[in-house]
Amino acid sequence: MNWIAMAVGMVIPFFLTPIVVRTLGATAYGVWILAVSTVAYLNLLDLGLRNAVIRFVSKADAQGKIDDAGVAIAAALWFRLLIAGGVAIFSIALAVFFPHLFNIPSDLKHAAQITVLLCALGVAVTLVSGVFGAVLAAINRYDLLSLIATLQVLARAIGVILILRHGGGLIALAYWELAVILTSGLAICTAALKTFPPCRVRLERPHLATIKMIWSYSFAMFLIMISSQIIFSTDNLVVGTFLSVGLVAYYSIGGSLMLYSSQVVGALSTTFIPLASGLEASGKTAELQKLLLRGTQGTLALVLPIGLTLLIRGKTFIGLWMGKQFSEISGTVLQILLITLFFMIANNTASNIMFGTSNQKAVAKWSVIEAIANFTVSIVLVKTIGIYGVAWGTSITMSIVHLIFWPRYVQKTLGVPVRTYIWDGWVKITLLSIPFAIATVFVEKHWLARSLPVFALQVLTTLPVYIVFAGMFFRNDALNLLRRWRMSRVGNAQTIL
- pLDDT of 488 reads 66
- pLDDT of 348 reads 87
Q: Kindly give, in sequence order, each residue whose CB lies less than 8 Å from that of residue 53, ignoring residues fewer than 6 positions away.
A: 72, 73, 76, 131, 134, 135, 138
Kindly report the CA angle at 218 between 217 and 220, in degrees rounded to 5?
Answer: 80
- pLDDT of 495 reads 47
| Torsion sign (Cα): 478, 483, 484, 486 | positive
Please give the Cα distance from 294 to 284 (Å, whole number).
Answer: 16
- Least Cα distance to 40 among 322, 255, 188 occurs for 255
**Predicted confidence pLDDT, tens digits, the chain (497 residues):** 777 777 777 778 777 888 888 888 878 888 888 888 788 878 777 777 777 788 778 777 777 777 777 788 888 888 888 888 988 898 898 888 888 877 788 888 888 889 889 989 998 998 888 888 888 888 888 888 889 988 998 998 999 899 988 888 888 988 999 999 999 999 999 998 888 887 777 777 777 777 777 777 677 777 887 888 788 778 888 888 888 877 888 888 888 888 777 777 766 677 787 788 778 877 788 888 888 998 898 888 888 999 999 999 999 999 998 888 889 999 999 999 998 888 888 888 898 888 878 788 888 889 999 999 999 999 999 989 999 999 999 999 999 989 999 999 999 998 999 999 999 889 988 988 999 999 999 999 999 898 989 999 999 999 999 988 887 777 776 677 677 767 766 555 454 44
Q: What are the helix (H) ranges across 449-474?
A: 452-473
- pLDDT of 315 reads 93
Kindly report the CA angle at 255 between 184 and 166, in degrees rounded to 5?
Answer: 50
Nearest 10 degrees: CA dihedral of 227, 351, 393, 257? -100
Please give the Cα distance from 158 to 148 (Å, whole number).
Answer: 15
154 burial type by CB count under 10 A (0-12 exposed, 13-18 middle, 19+ buried): middle
- pLDDT of 496 reads 44
pTM equals 0.68
CB 331 within 8 A of CB 314: yes
